[in-house]
Chains A and B, each alone.
Chain A
């Protein structure tokens, strides 16, 4: 597969469950991102990893735990979530600014639709 791939596409979980979202990119990028997309709200940047190092954590609750084992893979571990965490979680990747051919271009996955019961 090419591009950015997210699994699972849909996830339903209870508040006491532990689950993980996975993102994989085959574009040779060095930065990966998690965004949250809720109804009627802007896309919210959650976490950024640049060369496997976390460079941004936008005051995200600790029930969301990111992991970036290498530049191609990004995980979002979920535990004891709340119903208000139900949303579409988008993964994206990009080149760093120094090496980017197009500044500002993020490449998105199709998203993981999360429902917390």
Chain B
């Protein structure tokens, strides 16, 4: 079954420390993976997608097919990074975006 796993419910780091939010996936085809973020009192929104290999707000994520992972990283955490982060996998569908999400990891950056 296609699945996304985020093993950590909560990750607390100090400001300025490196951040790594873990995501593993289970998918037999060629995956398209994403990270979504939800800041306090804001709506869920796309943070980045692996296919574009971009860096958004200092975050990067590399797809590792051998380890079936798509971990989200940032070298120096900022207080404003505190939020819920969801890893997501796009599944084949009939012309629409069928996205399956992980359970999410709450990132808490301690000042």
Q: Of the listed stretches B16-24, B43-51, B62-70, B72-80, name the one at the interface; the rest are far from the partner chain.
A: B43-51
How many of A's residues come within 8 Å of B, CB to CB?
28
**Which one, B36, B45, B96, contacts A50 given CB within 8 A?**
B96
The interface residues of chain A, by DSSP majority, are classed as loop
Closest Cβ of chain A to B91, distance in Å, is 10
List which A87-116 residues lie within 8 A (CB) of chain B. 90, 94-98, 100, 102-111
Number of A-B contacts (CB under 8 A): 74
CB distance from A25 to the nearest CB of B (A): 12
Q: B98's contact among A43, A45, A102, A111, by CB below 8 Å, is which?
A: A45
Give the chain A neighbours of B93 by CB distance below 8 A.
48, 55-56, 97
Taking CB as reference atom, which chain B residue is nearest A104? Answer: B90
B interface, over-half SS: strand
**Residue among B32, B49, B94, B101 making CB contact with A43, cutoff 8 Å:** B101
Residues of A whose CB lies within 8 Å of any CB of B are 4, 31, 40-43, 45, 48, 50, 55-56, 90, 94-98, 100, 102-111
Closest 8 pairs (CB-CB, A-B)? A31-B96, A43-B101, A104-B90, A108-B44, A94-B97, A50-B96, A96-B95, A108-B43
